[in-house]
Structure 1
Amino acid sequence: MRRPVPSSSAPITQVPGMWSLLTLSALGFAGYALLLPVAPLWAVQGGAGSGGAGLINAVLMLATVVTQTSMPTVLRRIGWRPTMVAGVLLLGLPSALFVLTDALPWLLVLSAVRGMGFAVLTVCGSSAVAALVDGPRHGRAIGVYGLSIAVPQLLLVPSAAWIAETLDFRVVFALGALPALAVPFAAVLGRRLDGIASEDARTAPDPTEDRPARGRLLLALVMPSLVLLVVTTPGGALLTFTPQFAGSATLAMVALLGFTAATALSRWAVGGPADRYGARVFMAPLLVLCAGGLALSAWAIADGGTWAVGLVVGMTIVGISYGSLQNLTLVEAFAAVPRRSHPTASTVWNIGFDAGTGLGSLVVGFIAAGASFAAGLATTAVVCVVAAAALLVTGRFSAAGGAASDR
């Protein structure tokens, strides 16, 4: 099987294997999105406080991050096909078991198992984009892939809590098993990726030649990973706690709809500009925009009341930054390393994404327990501003260093 080299004019969706990837991702993230706001609510039903509820998604993401660290090795030793099939089953099947208990310890165990499956889905999905589509179109390919991730979240994150509270939690838990339906697509895509990997192994130069030191490779990935960590921390907090601080299921649904719609559209729309102008130029302004949206959201829920319009607008602004920076940081990560290191780049990027999501759930939950949700969101806004300033300063130093070396 030869490695695909699509023409610059061919649609991304015509790349062989892409539709399997998009379907697999949509089903996988549907199951993930449904339980993200509902599992903490289920824990609250069982008597957990805001700190305990925050642990649900924190444990999910901790298990995800720990599993992600082993993914490059697993893919090399086991192969894409069995790894991806196991991943969608680990993510989907435990969801149906939530209906059996609302005891926090068992919910944490189930969340950890789901996190292992989610690790496979995330690393394999973003790595597959780099394997199927060549570098000059990574921005657009990541945008299309991002839509397959973001659309399920757009439809299901805002409505999941409403479904649970107005219909039944059991409906959400049953739908949360949707990733298990992706087994055939995982098998088809995995077979193709195994073929590409075999072809690359046959045609690659001696792996001991021109291999960057591991430390240097990881250093190249620090900047995009930290930017992603900064923006996914408040994103994880909003996805976890909006049903609790919005004050009503309807307002929570509308606010999350604004957040997820902005995430979906911006992650797709920024792909073309990223390919044309480069990713880094957009990062600092988007971090500042994120801080503004968080500040508005914090103001909207301060003093025990809720300014509905302010919350919806603020979360929509955050969604623009959240979606755009997901695309931009992944483009930057792939550009920073050789093609053979793309699985490592995908792993590091996903660790930043999921660590930020879990950190937001954990930290904002405990700040809320001691102070308020408004204080938690305000704290993440300050972090965004600091990160934007650091990015601008390091960018100037890098530019100055490059100019000096040219002279």
Structure 2
Amino acid sequence: MWAVSGGADSGGAGLVNFVLLGTTVATQFAVPWAIGRAGWAWVLSLGMVFLGVPSLLHLLTADLGPVLALSAVRGVGFGILTVAANAAAVLLVEPARRGAAVGAYSFALSLPLVVVMPVGGWVADAVGFWPVFVVGALPLAGIPACVAVARHLPARSTHDASHPEVAEPTTSRATYLALLRPTLVLLAITFAGGAVITFAPQMVQVPWLSAAGLFAVGLLSAITRWQVGGLADRAGAQRLLVPAVLVSALVLAALAWVVRSPVDASRAVPWILVCALVGVCYGTLQTLTMLRAFEAAGPRRVGAASAVWNAGFDTGTATGSLVVGWVAVASGFGPGMALAAVLCLLTVPLARVAPRR
């Protein structure tokens, strides 16, 4: 919206998210190396700076070039935060409580979206862009917490704290192949989630339906990511993953049916209900695939697991926004979401493969 207010067309506006996610993915694989060189406190704090400062600098100009440059810097910060905070959540607890830790971290990550995602565009339109950019600078307030949590982590490594003197080993091809399986399952559900988050306003006829649907997605995703972690500690992520994938494919098929034509007020109930179920599936598979990734990588490759998982998340989100948009131009959002359901179903064989010990 800011780029469009500065004269960009819809293609230029789409580049803003593409650039941010592109630098995010490029950064994520370098985060374990950076922690090994500079330590946790510096890396986490720099991530907060790269996220917060450019948000305020957006206020200086809406020209597309500077907006893209600032988005690229914010992507670096986002890449640092997602990988480092993800790994920290795992390293702060013993393996038996890993699911609960991942659930708590995921809840903290998701909860702000419950409010911000539905109302951000409305605030920018009704009040102005400056409140949005000020809120975008709030990561700067997290720098003291970065320094504090760093004291409880291995000084310069992203592997199990029981071996602090040994650097994280080089990740083998077999490990990356093992990580690829849960990451592809994740990519399928974030493909669908990215499409819903991006195109909810175009899927409905009444603006409040978009806000209500996104609120349902965000709230149920946050709660589910939190609660599924503890459940996985008791039942095992492996046992839960295949049923979760099957249910997700069914829910996405239902969403495809609901959005076969633009949703009006007469179909508000099925729209909000299916959005809530999408949120449940979105949150469940995020937590389960994250736990499976850490299991596949082993305790000494936590950083690699976090980097690959987060790259899969952001790649799926960006790809879903792009591909479903293309399909919708030709055939509508019903076929676009049906494609997402089919992709999710195709990952069932990958979900069945148990992680190597």
Normalising by structure 1, report the TM-score: 0.79
Bigger Cα displacement from structure 2, 307-316 vs 319-328: 307-316
Q: Aligned partners of 1:235 and 1:379: how far apart in 2? A: 13
**In the alignment, which residue of structure 2 is the partner of 1:34?**
none
1:330 has 2:290 as partner: yes
Q: Aligned partners of 1:283 and 1:241: how far apart in 2? A: 27
How far does residue 180 in structure 1 lie from its aligned partner after superposition?
Answer: 1.5
Paired AA for residue 226 in structure 1: L
Give secondary structure in 2 for the equivalent of 1:192: coil
**In the alignment, which residue of structure 1 is the partner of 2:244?**
286
**In the alignment, which residue of structure 1 is the partner of 2:175?**
217
How far does residue 168 in structure 1 lie from its aligned partner after superposition?
Answer: 2.0
Bigger Cα displacement from structure 2, 85-94 vs 41-50: 41-50
**In the alignment, which residue of structure 2 is the partner of 1:361?**
321
How far does residue 134 in structure 1 lie from its aligned partner after superposition?
Answer: 1.2
Give secondary structure in 2 for the equivalent of 1:153: helix
How far does residue 215 in structure 1 lie from its aligned partner after superposition?
Answer: 0.8
1:269 to 218, 227, 234: 227
Q: Aligned partners of 1:206 and 1:192: how far apart in 2? A: 17
CA RMSD across the alignment: 2.7
1:349 to 302, 309, 315: 309
2:350 to 391, 396, 404: 391
Do the aligned partners of 2:100 and 2:226 also contact (CA within 8 Å) in 1?
yes
Paired AA for residue 233 in structure 2: D
1:73 has 2:37 as partner: no
1:50-69 correspondence runs (5 A): 51-69=11-29
Paired AA for residue 336 in structure 1: A
Which sections of structure 2, spanning at least 5 residues, go unmatched? none
**In the alignment, which residue of structure 2 is the partner of 1:232?**
190
Q: Aligned partners of 1:296 and 1:202: how far apart in 2? A: 47
1:106 has 2:66 as partner: yes
Q: Aligned partners of 2:13 and 2:333: how far apart in 1? A: 13
Q: Deviations over 1:93-130 (max 9, x none)?
A: 21223334444443332222111100111001110012
Which sections of structure 1, spanning at least 5 residues, go unmatched? 1-40, 400-407
Q: Aligned partners of 2:206 and 2:350: how far apart in 1? A: 38
Bigger Cα displacement from structure 2, 280-289 vs 250-259: 280-289
Give secondary structure in 1 for the equivalent of 2:145: helix
Distance change in 2, residues 1:386/1:197 (3 Å): closer
Do the aligned partners of 1:255 and 1:315 also contact (CA within 8 Å) in 2?
yes
Moved over 6 A (4+): 198-202, 205-208
Distance change in 2, residues 1:255/1:48 (3 Å): farther
Q: Aligned partners of 2:41 and 2:19: how far apart in 1? A: 27
How far does residue 143 in structure 1 lie from its aligned partner after superposition?
Answer: 0.9
Do the aligned partners of 1:51 and 1:362 also contact (CA within 8 Å) in 2?
no
Q: Aligned partners of 2:201 and 2:65: how far apart in 1? A: 22
Q: Aligned partners of 2:165 and 2:42: how far apart in 1? A: 27
Q: Aligned partners of 1:51 and 1:297: how far apart in 2? A: 27
Q: Aligned partners of 1:385 and 1:346: how far apart in 2? A: 24
**In the alignment, which residue of structure 1 is the partner of 2:95?**
135
**In the alignment, which residue of structure 1 is the partner of 2:205?**
247
Q: Aligned partners of 1:312 and 1:199: how far apart in 2? A: 42
Distance change in 2, residues 1:85/1:141 (3 Å): same
How far does residue 52 in structure 1 lie from its aligned partner after superposition?
Answer: 4.4
How far does residue 155 in structure 1 lie from its aligned partner after superposition?
Answer: 2.0
How far does residue 247 in structure 1 lie from its aligned partner after superposition?
Answer: 3.4
Paired AA for residue 20 in structure 2: L
1:170 to 130, 146, 167: 130
Give secondary structure in 2 for the equivalent of 1:133: coil
2:276 to 296, 303, 316: 316
Distance change in 2, residues 1:127/1:158 (3 Å): same
Paired AA for residue 76 in structure 2: M
How far does residue 327 in structure 1 lie from its aligned partner after superposition?
Answer: 1.0
How far does residue 304 in structure 1 lie from its aligned partner after superposition?
Answer: 4.0
